[in-house]
Amino acid sequence: MNVTSTELPGIAAERTDLSSGEVEHLQLLLSDWTMIADLAFADLILWLPTFNEAGFVAAGQIRPSTARTHIPKDVTGNFVPRGRHIELDRAFLTGEIWTGEPGQQHEITQAIPISFLGRTIAVLGRYSSPAEFGRMEAIYDRIAQIIFEMLSIGAFPRVTHNDQGTGGRGGAPRVGDGLLLLDKDGTIEFASPNAISAFRRLGVAIDVEGQVLADLVAQLNRHGVPINDTLSLVARGRIQATAEIAGEQSSATLRSIPLVSGENTSGNLAGAGTLVLMRDVTDLRRREQALLGKDAAIREIHHRVKNNLQTVASLLRLQSRRLTDVSAQIELAEAGRRISTIAIVHDMLAHNPGDSVDFDEVVGRVIPLSVETASLHAVNTTFTGEFGVLHSDTATTLALVLAELVANAVEHATAGRDHVNIAIEAQRLDGEIEVSVSDDGPGVNLPLGSAGGLGLAIVTTLVAEELGGSIEFTHVDETAEFRGTKVTVRLPLHS
């Protein structure tokens, strides 16, 4: 169980006098304390001092994945008064790590003060049972003790620009994925079994312990894999950062955390080696490549569909030129316009990842096409509002509806006139989209459900059956000489 990013600021604001900078420092700690709990084989509880100095409040807890839990209940938000746990009191007041005596029973195994800018701002409680450690467990515990010391002197956690310990491009390594301990010279002092297996998959067949990690990375580079500066610094244990190493058939992420312990004779923190977490991400990268390939294939399909539709529209235009019947020419022109409208949506899908399109851009291409095909008169169109991003299925159907409405407006509003003004408005309401097409023509008496042309039949069918929406016909101004026609379409937004 982990405290969420919103719980800590809330508890700190209501029950402590911690500053925003101190809370941010604690949030950085929480982003890494899964690693600490796994290294310490212990439950951890973050205790914050209350504003009235009456005691401590639990701001979060974490359980290890490397050992059984000792605190099955959630204690986040619980308060303990001063004197209830003298371990917490001592660690907070002295700024020094309190450790229980071997062989004695203590609810808290260790109490670690958390320092920030020279001030103790919280105490980390470690809860675990004595256990017989092998070599690996002993090294894990040794690393945990170094990190506890770094917490107490304000050397951990540290803000870095390239450390993706809690996220990044996927595959952030954890203790159980693989662990390396480098000495001060970058030599691998210890490698966990999972880390050794990851190196085997990368193509390193030798025993990695005793080898310099930077040299192993260089060997992989001779296989043709380039090394960036970050990877080089990570392999040398110089910075806290995350980088990726790739072999011929495998990939792994490396996260380095330089360790420091106490102060040397010059007063500076002394280096204690580097903790490197390692995770094989070969399967993740293969899935990424598969998704990229699938996305490219889908876009290529949309591109070919667009080309085929444009070819059909061109054939219809050629056919219409051979006809002498004017009504047949008009019908073929309208059919070509409808096909070209669908082609516009596929063209946008061919150039954009995913299965959604910016419909405002579609409108900008559909309206001129509809006007050009429907009339030779002067037509002034305006578009206001916003459709936003729509799923491809909705976008294709709505584009057809909008094209038909504009074409109908041009056809009926220009009757007996040489010009027409058409306004298209769109807005997103709660759970639906409303779009209206208005003109300043004489107005038509065509209520929903009565007989109409093919265009109206297409619109009513698509809106009702494909989009699950409604359509309404009204006049723009009943008192004006040219009443105009306004068609309003409402359709639900599906998540």
Q: How many CB atoms lie within 10 A of CB 371?
A: 20
Q: What one-character DSSP code corresponds to residue 271?
A: E
What integer pLDDT is reported at residue 288 of this predicted model? 67
How many domains are there within the chain?
3
Domain stops at, among 280, 310, 335: 280
Domain match, 297 and 273 both? no
β-strand partners of 389: 358
Task: Please tell me the predicted confidence (pLDDT) of residue 448.
Answer: 44
* Residue 247 sits in the same domain as residue 356: no
411 within some domain: yes
Task: Please check whether residues 304 and 371 belong to one and the same domain.
Answer: yes
Last residue within a domain, chosen from 248, 263, 280: 280
Q: Looking at the structure, do residues 240 and 326 belong to the same domain, yes or no?
A: no
Q: What is the mean pLDDT of the chain?
A: 83
* Domain contains 45: yes
Domain co-membership, 323 together with 465:
yes
Give percent above pLDDT 90 in the chain: 35
The pTM score is 0.63
* 454 in any annotated domain: yes
Shared domain for 116 and 193, answered yes or no, is no
Query: What DSSP designation does 462 have?
Result: I
The counts of H helices and E strands in the chain are 13, 18
Query: Does 292 lie in the same domain as 275?
Result: no
pLDDT at 403 over 90: no
Is pLDDT larger for residue 248 or for residue 360?
360
- Alpha helices (runs of H) in 260-413, residue ranges in sequence order: 282-321, 326-351, 359-374, 392-413
pLDDT digits (tens, 9 = 90+) for 91-124: 999 999 999 876 555 689 999 999 999 999 999 9
Task: Give the range of the structural domain holding residue 438, as residue numbers without chain letter.
Answer: 286-492
| The last residue of a domain, from among 249, 280, 311 | 280
Task: Mark whether 298 and 274 lie in a shared domain.
Answer: no
If asked whether residues 118 and 194 sit together in one domain, one would say no
Q: pLDDT tens digit string along 404-446?
A: 888 888 877 666 667 788 888 988 888 888 999 888 887 776 5
CATH number for position 388: 3.30.565.10
User: Is 417 among the domain residues?
Assistant: yes
Q: Which residue has the tokens 């894999």?
A: 225
Instruction: Tell me, yes or no, whether 164 lies in a domain.
Output: no
Query: Are the beta carbons of 16 and 48 closer than 8 angstroms?
Result: yes
Does residue 442 fall inside a structural domain?
A: yes
pLDDT 10s digits, 267-306: 455 678 999 999 988 777 777 677 766 777 777 887 788 7
Per-residue pLDDT tens digits for 472-493: 888 877 766 777 888 899 988 7
Assign 266 a pLDDT band (cuts: 50, 70, 90).
very low
Does residue 421 form part of some domain?
Answer: yes
For the stretch 126-149, pLDDT in tens is 998 877 788 999 999 999 999 999
**Is 159 contained in some domain?**
no
Residue 272 and residue 147 in one domain: no
pLDDT at 166 over 60: no
Please report, for the domain that includes residue 221, its CATH number.
3.30.450.20
